[in-house]
Amino acid sequence: MASRSDVNAVAPANNISFLDFFPCPCYNLNTARIGFSAARRVVIEVLVRRNTMVKKISAQPFQGTAEQAARLEAVLAEHRGDPAQLMAVMQKAQGIYGYLPFEVQVMIADGMDVPLQRVYGLSTFYGQFALSPAGKYAVSVCMGTACYVKGAQALLDALHELLGIDAGECTADGLFSMEASRCVGACGLAPVMTVNEDVYGNLTPDMLDGIIAKYRDRG
């Protein structure tokens, strides 16, 4: 039986696409005018941001119910023997559980008779899949270029101290989850953070305590 650490090790952390170098509509890179050092600096920034946004299997204890397991088994029975339906099965599984924890990925791999690595690869590649449960308040820090150069990483570091979690994780009480996102299109407000539908711009780390406290008080 594969372990959580085994699965977390199978996907490359820095699979870079063209869009990674132009992740923000307000950032223009004129390759005809920059030198090698500047280009290398851009690549390093991309790698740092990509590493921050790498998905990881949730470390929280799995709390699935027998009713959820029965619903997933019905989905697997419907599509068993048809690997082409793997994505559809994963989407339905996430609809049942709210995310795709390690245990659910194992059930999908066994039920569809596909390698666990394939399930994990799809779940980490496509943004529609979540590997951790969403908190009541989903905190997302934009890591687009404008936000990144204006201190988005410092915001993530401060949130880590405040919430005790990293990007892609959820607090034990289920109140907060934290994500590092691609450009949200509000570059004039950089750096930007969202909490559910609320948008906060021109942030500094010392402003976060008050913002988080407001949501904690709401419970």
Quick: pLDDT tens for 157-205.
999 999 999 998 999 899 999 999 989 999 999 999 999 999 999 999 9
Amino acid at 150: K
Average pLDDT in the 65-90 region?
96
Dump strand ranges (E) for 29-175: 137-142, 169-170
Tell me: cis bond preceding 101? Omega within 30 of 0 counts: no
pLDDT band at 59 (very low <50, low <70, confident <90, very high): confident
Tell me what pLDDT residue 168 has.
Answer: 87
Position with higher pLDDT, 43 vs 83: 83
Report DSSP state, residue 193: E
pLDDT band at 44 (very low <50, low <70, confident <90, very high): very low
In angstroms, rounded to a whole number, what is the distance separating the alpha carbons of residues 202 and 193? 9
